[in-house]
Chains A and B, each alone.
Chain A
Amino acid sequence: MSASALLAKNRAPSDADIDAAMSGNVCRCGTYNQIRAAIKDAGASAKGA
């Protein structure tokens, strides 16, 4: 939901944008770098839509 809200406003977020939007979400499995990458992928694919 946080990622979706971010992408609704900003289709090409920077790492800092993502950190700011996602730092309220706790991940215990250590996937933060993959979440960052996934948000960028999702933003890029949405741009083409």
Chain B
Amino acid sequence: MRAKPMNASRREFLKTSAIAGGGLIVGFTLPGAARFAQAAGKEAQINAYLRIAPNNAITVVCGLSEMGQGVHTAIPMLVAEELDADWSRVRVEQAGVDKAFVNPIFGIQATGGSTAVRGHWEPMRRAGATARAMLIAAAAESWKADAADCRTERGMVIHTSGKKLSYGQLAEKAAKLTPPKDVKLKDPKQFNLLGKSGTKRLDTVAKSTGRAKFGLDVYLPGMLTAVIAYPPVPGGKAASVNDAKAKAVRGVRQVVQIPSGVAVLADGYWAAKLGRDALEIKWDHGANASLSSEGISKMLSAGAAAGGAVGRNEGDAKAATPAKKIEAEYEAPYLSHSCMEPLNCTAWVKKDGVEIWAGTQSQGPAQGILSQVAGVRPGQVKVNTMYLGGGFGRRFAPDPVIGATVLSKIAGKPVKLVYSREDDTRGYFYRPASVTKMTGGLDANGVATLFTANVASPSIMEGSHFMKLPPDGVDEFGVEGIRDCPYDIPNLHIEYSRQEPGNLQVWFWRSVGHSQNSFFLESFIDEMAHAAGKDPFEFRRALLGKQPRYKGALELAAEKADWGKPLPAGVHRGIAVVFSFGSWCAEVAEVSVGSDGTPRVHRVVAAVDCGMTVNPDIVKRQIESAIVFGLTAALYGKITFKDGRVEQSNFHDYRMLRMNEMPKVEVHIVPSTEAPGGIGEPGTPPIAPAVANAMFAATGKRIRKLPLLG
């Protein structure tokens, strides 16, 4: 999921190429073109991403998954901008799996890593611009005029003479033209939609009226609903199963053992759940029967003490002799994603292939995986991507789609596999725990001269099953947010020690490694500022002289939060700045701490430099969302183990922030003409350290272990 800059060969994928069948597409060879044409009906298929109806309705086909982050609005905006479309006539449609929709940053069709706008900023604009050129050419041909005498405005081609034709009138003719190879994209100064607030989301009405279909809303005739009894201890197996009572539950149709556990298939969820409750299973707990959080902490702490593979080395940390040296050990726990829509997938294994309906972030890989599960060709796997009721990385994992497909194959019927809240909370795929030991050194003037960090954590790369640790042995997700320490410190040394307590399945969690490493680094920099007797904002600022965009975000947040000015009695500020997923985000938290040590976050002021924006309203909402996500984890989030079992199960013991705890949030965007950065994740990393630093300012007590409430 690492975001790589788009290279020229990736851009080649947008090379214009004609295909057989009368229609023309912008894109590349498109095996599914016939399907698109069929779906288009009377609409003209201008390219893989765009259809125009005679009544001027424009349909943008989007291959990315909408999980609330706004991609089903941002992608159409990119196309509409260069097309000069009438935005009020633009609608969006979810694409199937097709090469046309490969995420240029990942090289697979998937949504995550805050890549949507970064990856599609140019290709989708080019798709719009190419279509616009074809519509102009069609108009010019109709008028026997010169294309250079035509311009476009809000869905119309207009000739200098004043003649007009709408895109709907021109679409059929335009679709038959050869797409131009090189179209000029707009100068950002010419943008009508991009970067301007006020463009409403395309999914709001469907979601407000309940018409939007999420995975859990899928019902097929003859469908069975399945739940699985999972081993209570990770790595455990069912030694014996007595399913007599389960099968006696009304509505239960089948009980089967599959690799992940014992599945109960029934006429509906409740019957399946009652059937599962009635199962009598003797579990073989395997090697993890005594796994405990205490043991995990010890293992990680020992790993951090011993050190490991060198991730970065500058100057000579060992030889440095600072006037003042501080040391600290920090710890972060495992975390569950806890998407609000319970995980689910509906699968139907038929004679000639597989069809699934799933709110998934990774429909491209799912197609390949399911072709293996069902023993069919990838082209025989049809993925219907539904709306996702939250993703946060969890819906990148294939376990629900594999489980549903395995069960449908066994049952010979469509099967909807549903995870209860408890199944989800106890279902692993966690943000890995980490222990990190750091040292910092200051010279006699309080200037930082030394920073070292030894990170110990499980490897997401290895756990992902689609990546491997690189030859240097450093997991990029294990160290991101700390290895890239931006502060100008001459002696700097980072090590990574891979530790796999219980061989637990770990996974990508919104902002991934930054979610804990930024807490470690930005808290420890605060400790260094305090040790130097300096203001934490000024201390950071002085070390960011060579990092203008870090500095810009930091300064804007401080300015908007009135850093240094008085606050009401008992309220204190903390600050943090983090670069992640191509964007720089600084946050100032205003916090008071009650006599029992409970923090109250009153206000968060954020400043983000994410380059040029597509939809600044969505940018602000994403930062606010990311702050709530990070604040929830910072205050409450922890998955702990005792006797091999996960101790948390539902929202009563895996707490979410509630409305009465919600701070006021202000988001400021740094004006920029740079290429866009990501926006789904960068708001999450700074909030935990900003709040922890404010708590330190309030109490003088440094909290080095998450969650902040213990």
Contacts and interface: CB of A to CB of B under 8 A. Distances in A.
B528 to A, nearest CB: 31
A30 B658 contact: no
Contacts of B690: none
A18 interface: yes
B629 interface: yes
B626 A30 contact: yes
For the complex of A and B, the 5 pairs showing the least CB-CB separation, nearest first, are: A30-B628, A30-B625, A32-B662, A19-B660, A28-B340
A23 to B, nearest CB: 5
A29 B660 contact: no
Interface string A8-30: 00000000001110110111111
Contacts of B502: none
B390 interface: yes
B299 interface: no
A7 to B, nearest CB: 15
A39 to B, nearest CB: 10
Nearest to A21: B659
Given A18-B659, A22-B659, A23-B660, A32 B340 contact: no
Nearest to A30: B628
Interface string B337-353: 01110000000000000
B660 A20 contact: yes
Nearest to A36: B659
Interface in B621-667: 621, 624-629, 651, 656-660, 662, 664-665
Nearest to B662: A32
B68 interface: yes
Nearest to A28: B340
A31 B624 CA distance: 8
Nearest to B624: A30
A33 interface: yes
B658 A26 contact: yes
Interface string B598-631: 0000000000000000000000010011111100
Q: Please tell me the size bucket of the interface on B.
A: 20 to 34
Nearest to B683: A30
Q: Which of A18, A19, A33, A35 has the most CB of B within 10 A?
A: A33
Given A26-B651, A28-B390, A29-B340, A35 B624 contact: no
Taking each of B625, B627, B662, which has the highest tally of chain A beta carbons within 10 Å of its own beta carbon?
B662
A28 B628 CA distance: 8
A33 B68 CA distance: 16
Contacts of A29: 68, 340, 390, 625, 628
Contacts of A18: 659
A22 B659 CA distance: 7
Nearest to B392: A28
Given A30-B628, A31-B625, 19 more contacts: A19-B660, A22-B659, A26-B656, A26-B658, A27-B340, A27-B656, A27-B659, A28-B390, A28-B656, A29-B340, A29-B390, A30-B624, A30-B625, A30-B626, A30-B627, A30-B629, A32-B659, A33-B664, A35-B659
A12 B621 CA distance: 25
B625 A33 contact: no
A23 B625 contact: no
B681 to A, nearest CB: 13
B624 A25 contact: no
A12 B334 CA distance: 42
B683 to A, nearest CB: 9
8 contacts: A27-B340, A28-B340, A28-B390, A29-B340, A29-B625, A30-B629, A31-B625, A32-B628
Nearest to B67: A29
Contacts of A35: 659
Nearest to B208: A38
B487 to A, nearest CB: 29
A33 B340 contact: no
A25 B657 CA distance: 10
A35 B305 CA distance: 47
Contacts of A25: 659
A23 B658 CA distance: 6
A13 B682 CA distance: 34
A28 B656 CA distance: 7
A30 B657 CA distance: 9
B527 to A, nearest CB: 29
Contacts of B390: 28-29
Nearest to B665: A33
B368 to A, nearest CB: 30
A30 B665 CA distance: 11
A33 B658 contact: no
A20 B660 CA distance: 7
A16 to B, nearest CB: 8
B659 A23 contact: yes
Contacts of B657: 32
Interface string A34-49: 1110000000000000
B208 to A, nearest CB: 10
A49 to B, nearest CB: 18
B207 to A, nearest CB: 11
A33 B624 CA distance: 9
B161 to A, nearest CB: 47
B629 to A, nearest CB: 6
Contacts of B68: 29
A19 B628 contact: no
Contacts of B629: 28, 30
A26 B660 contact: no
A19 B340 contact: no
A29 to B, nearest CB: 5
Contacts of A36: 659
B52 to A, nearest CB: 33
Contacts of A26: 340, 651, 656, 658
Contacts of B656: 26-28
Interface in B660-691: 660, 662, 664-665
A19 B659 contact: yes
Contacts of A34: 621
A25 B339 CA distance: 14
A35 B340 CA distance: 16
Contacts of A20: 660
A28 B339 contact: yes
A31 B207 CA distance: 14
Contacts of B660: 19-20, 23
Contacts of B621: 31, 34
Contacts of B627: 30
Contacts of B658: 23, 26
A15 to B, nearest CB: 9
Nearest to A18: B659
Contacts of A28: 338-340, 390, 629, 656
